Amino acid sequence: MQRHYFLAVKLPDETKTKLANICNTLSNEHHFKTWVHPDDYHITLAFLGAASSVKIETLHELLNERMMSKKESPFSLSVNHFGFFGNEHHPRIFWAGVEEEHCLYTLQKQVAYVCETVGFQLDKRPYSPHITLARKHIESVHHLVDSQKWWKQYGENIRFQADQFVLYETHIEKQPKYQVIHSYSI
């Protein structure tokens, strides 16, 4: 069985702790099948899916070259709202959103370009940066839909410096699920 990979902005430990504290409070009142392990919080740049080790090493070499030749500066991001994906009465994903930041979109486009050069078929939907916090809501949810109310009640603006992105390998059977394979400085 081939391994699965993705590229993502790695969050600082302090940011993960703040989000985990919010989730601990929320989990007492709102029931999801799975709350994401804090070490697995990230902002996806490109989901790669299954890939051979040769293809991953080729990607790694090209990303290193690209990041060395087109050095980006670290940039600031702010977690500033909650949202849901899926049916409004039974959402699949509960997430924290980040403000629209030009530097993040530029980085995502650069990473996607390199991935496609190597032959990865990436999602064609518009990029929607977010941090997945929980999956599969398990109760009737007439009150759940108002993510803005949740933000006002539980959220806090969390600013952090995005200074690296990483190549993760997924291990579904483990907690945390994601293992860093390579890191790239921004």
Distance CA 44, CA 173 (A): 20
**pLDDT score at 182:** 96
- 30, 42, 137, 182: which is the annotated catalytic residue? 42
Residue 4 a catalytic site member: no
CA geometry: angle at 142 spanning 139 and 147, to 5°? 95
Which whole number is the average pLDDT over 58-72? Answer: 87
DSSP letters spanning 107-167: HHHHHHHHHHHHT-----SPP--EEEEEEEE-S--TTTT-HHHHHHHH---EEEEE-EEEE
Full set of structural domains in the chain with CATH: 3-185 (3.90.1140.10)
pLDDT above 60 for 179: yes
pTM for the model stands at: 0.89
Mean pLDDT of 34-51: 96
Which residue out of 81, 130, 137, 182 is catalytically annotated? Answer: 130
Q: Which pLDDT value is given to residue 68? A: 77
Whole-number pLDDT of residue 11? 97
Task: State yes or no: pLDDT of 3 exceeds 60.
Answer: yes
Has 182 been annotated as catalytic? no
Whether the pLDDT of residue 90 is over 90: the answer is: no
Question: pLDDT of 98-151, one tens digit each?
Answer: 987 899 999 999 999 999 999 999 999 999 999 999 988 766 555 545 556 666
Q: Is the pLDDT of residue 30 over 90?
A: no
- Identify which of 162, 164, 168 has the alpha carbon closest to the alpha carbon of residue 59: 168
